[in-house]
Structure 1
Amino acid sequence: DAHYDPFSACELIENLSQGQGINRIKEIYGYG
């Protein structure tokens, strides 16, 4: 897939289950 999805990338890097990347990124960067 040519589209870069930072949430999916984060899930792969952090070994998270599908859909957890956004929560991790919120945690890291203080979104929300």
Structure 2
Amino acid sequence: MLAVFLEAELTLYVSLHLFLDLRIEETFMQCWP
């Protein structure tokens, strides 16, 4: 049970991290032509 929870938590963390990286890169590219 704990392993499943940790795996879901890790997946969520990685997805959020990738999403934020994309958003930051997108904003940076717009502000820095």
TM score, norm. by length of structure 2? 0.31
User: Which of the pair has the greater relative contact order for Cα pairs under 8 Å at 6+ separation?
Assistant: 1
Which protein shows a greater Rg?
2
TM score, norm. by length of structure 1? 0.32
Bigger share in helix? 2
